[in-house]
Amino acid sequence: MASLVITTFHDSLGANLSRDSSELLRNPVGSGSDVREVHRALMLADRALREWIAAAVAQLQHGVPNRFEQLPQLGKPEGGYEAAEPVALAERDAVLAGSAHAELAARAVDLARATPEIDTESSLTQNREALETTARAAALCLLEAGNQLGGEDFVLAQANQTMKDLIALDGWTNQLGPRFEF
């Protein structure tokens, strides 16, 4: 079975890109245990907030450090409400409503609120909705960041590299504990 997180991320992007760009997205591959899916969802959320949203906000602020760049790794679901949500809410409240910056912050809030719904004690079946919601929210973060950072070319490059990394879980460190080692 293909990865639920990768497939949802892929399909969410494909539904929002032009037909030509959608055809250039990598085919979702990779499978694994429930543990790998939790890792994938957290890795994807972490990348969406600390890389894509942070870079887009930095672009809008012309290199001034922003709160997203200072986030610690989103290594556990509770990092969504402990670290990411306060940062996203602060960013959202600090900018003009309707601005590109506000849109980025709104997407970050949605993602920060999705990740804590992942239950590390539940099965893949029980976590399906939370994993899919997280993957969709991350895709929307990438699309919104793409509006500031190069459009569909940026989105495609980041999406294809991310799906490759999600298969091998490259670029994310397990903070969930020994039960989640593989």
Q: Give the pair of three-digit tokens for residue 137.
A: 């929210």
> What share of the chain has pLDDT > 70, as a percent?
88
Q: What is the distance between the alpha carbons of residues 120 and 152, in angstroms, rounded to a whole number?
A: 34
Residue 173, pLDDT > 70, answer no
The pLDDT of 64-68, averaged and rounded, is 83
User: From the CB of residue 146, how many other CB atoms can be counted at a distance below 10 Å?
Assistant: 23
Can you give the pLDDT at residue 24? Answer: 85
Residue 61 has φ and ψ, to the nearest 5°, of -95, 10
Cβ within 8 Å of residue 109, ≥6 positions away? 85, 88, 89, 92
User: Model's pTM, two decimal places?
Assistant: 0.89
For 112-169, write each residue's pLDDT tens digit: 999 999 998 888 889 999 999 999 999 999 999 999 999 999 999 999 999 988 887 7
- Please report which helix (H) or strand (E) contains residue 54, including its range: helix 54-60
